[in-house]
Structure formats: structure tokens, C-alpha cells
Structure 1
Amino acid sequence: MKTSYVPNDATTIAALRWSIVIVFALFGIAKFAAYEAEGVAKIASHYPLFSWMYPIWGERGASNVIGTIELLTGAMIALGARYPLASLAGGAMGVFTFCVTLSFSLDAPAFWQVGYGAPFLGSTGQFLMKDAVLLAACYALAVNGQRRMRPGD
């Protein structure tokens, strides 16, 4: 009987890690563009965690701060390939990021499709629900870093 190749856990974590790094890089870079700053401001400027930034730095400045944090998160996750503590920290930063974005759904317009309601997602709901998977991926990377930090592992 022929046996087929099954990737090991390290290969699986590497695929997860680098796909998340790409997501944070692309999302982080986009925050420096005017179109993304405007889009983020529609939700974030009314959200208590971010609303204080808009009077201080304006729409573009607040978006630049958010983008910088996303780029730092991606960099930490990338460094986690070599350094377990960076994997733990970057994964935790990602978990926090996606907990925040998922919390936008609590009062986001068009989360549920008008005229249908739950469980029919509207445009905002469809946009935000992907973050549940990204949160789980970041959690897996944080746990991977924590496991690699244990003595003897």
C-alpha cells in the first residue's frame, strides 16, 4: 500500500503564520491610504476605544496609528517563526485586534440583512465574520509560541 505525505504540525503552523503575516501587512499598509482611512473612520470614530484619536490626530493620523499597530503585529508574528516569545506576543496582539473588530458588530449598521434579520448577514456582518477565523489563527500562533517556550520542547 502506498502511503501519502501528510504535513507535520510545523508545516501547518508555518502556513498559518505566513498567511496571517500577509493579512496584517496588507491591512496595515492600506491604513495609510485615504480610502481606507475614510472607511475605518466610519466605524472607529464612534467606537470608544478609538474615538479619542480622531480629535487629536484626525482621520488620516488615527488610521496611521491603527496601521502601525497592525504592521507591528504582523512583524511580531513573523519573528515568531524564530522566537517563541514573539509568536506568543504577536499572536496575542492579533487576538486582541480581532476581538476589537468583532466587537464592532455589536452596533454596526447592516450587520444583519434588513428585512431578514439573524442569521442572515448584511454587508457589514459578512465583512466582519471573517475576523472570527483570523482570531482563531492568531490564538493558534500564540499557543504555539507558548508551547515552544516550555523547557524541553
Structure 2
Amino acid sequence: MKNFLSKLVKTLGVFILRYGLGLVIIWLGFLKFKNIEADYTHQLISGGYMSWILKYLTPYALNHIVAYLQIVTGIFLMLKPISKPMSVWGGIGACTMFIVSISLLFTSKIVWQTGYGFPELSKAGQTILKDIILLGASAWCTSDSL
């Protein structure tokens, strides 16, 4: 009974990890089409190392590109039963996306609570902090698809 329960919980966990991650990435991608997300992106990257992108793209165009990439990444992650190579590419895309996001914790001015500094994260910082766990899930999905 213990062995059966262990396998059941593991199978359920693996399913939720892969397809939940794919769903979250797709959902976040659709949210990127909203103008308020573009304003948030502009604030987040305007003072950091990625500000050069804003010379070539408006925040709205950048968000649309990111939205499509996220939607495709989420779909690719969930295609493991059909195509392992596409799932690997989805995992690599997700890992890249979360590494870039996490790097903003160290380069963006709006992630820390004004006047407090470390470890007081602003709402933007708290939003990025979750990406550490999502990076781990993406790495696992990538390795599972290899």
C-alpha cells in the first residue's frame, strides 16, 4: 500500500509540475498583452542592464514578443508525450526566461522596498522571487524530456 501511494503521489506530482508549469507560462503570456504589463515591464528594465532594448522596441512591442514566446514555450513544455525534442526546447526556453527574470532582482531599482534595501522586496521583487522555484521546475522538465 505504501509503495502504491508513493508511486501515485509521485506520478501526480510529475504531472502537475510539467502541465502546471506549462499552464502558468501560457497564462502569464496572455497577461503580457495588457497595457499595464507593458508599463510594468518598462519600469522593471528601464534602469537595468536590459534598458538598451527600449532603444529598439516600445514596451508594448517588447511585451507582445515576450507574450508569444511564453505561449509557445508553455505549449512546447506540455508536448512531451508527442515530441520530446520540442519539450526540451520548451524547457530551455523556460529556463532562459526565468534566468533573465531572476537577474532583474540584482539590476532593477524597483525590486527593493524604497528606503529599506535588502531583504525588503517591493511587490515587483516579490513577483520575481517566485521565478526561482519556476526555474527549478523548468530545469527538471528539461532534464525529464532529455
Same fold (TM over 0.5): yes
Contact 1:77 1:87 in 2 (8 A): yes
Q: TM-score, normalised by structure 1?
A: 0.80
Q: Which residue of 1 aligns with 2:32?
A: 31
Q: Which residue of 2 aligns with 1:102?
A: 102
Q: Which residue identity does 2:52 align to in structure 1?
A: S
Contact 2:48 2:109 in 1 (8 A): no
Deviations 1:52-104 (A, max 9, x none): 3x344422211100111111111110112432212211111111000000000
Structure 2 portions without partners, runs of 5+: none
SS in 2 for 1:82: coil
SS in 2 for 1:132: helix
Q: Which residue of 2 aligns with 1:149?
A: none
State the structure with more CA Rg: 1
Q: CA deviation at 1:44?
A: 2.9
User: 4+ residue stretches of structure 1 with deviation over 6 A?
Assistant: none
Q: TM-score, normalised by structure 2?
A: 0.84
| Correspondences of 1:65-84 after superposition (within 5 Å) | 65-84=65-84
Aligned alpha-carbon RMSD (Å): 2.3
Q: Which residue of 2 aligns with 1:143?
A: 143
Identity %, equivalent residues: 22
Q: CA deviation at 1:22?
A: 1.3
SS in 1 for 2:109: coil
| Structure 1 CA distance for aligned equivalents of residues 84 and 51 of structure 2 | 30
Contact 2:49 2:107 in 1 (8 A): no
Contact 1:16 1:137 in 2 (8 A): yes
Contact 2:45 2:108 in 1 (8 A): no
Number of equivalenced pairs: 144
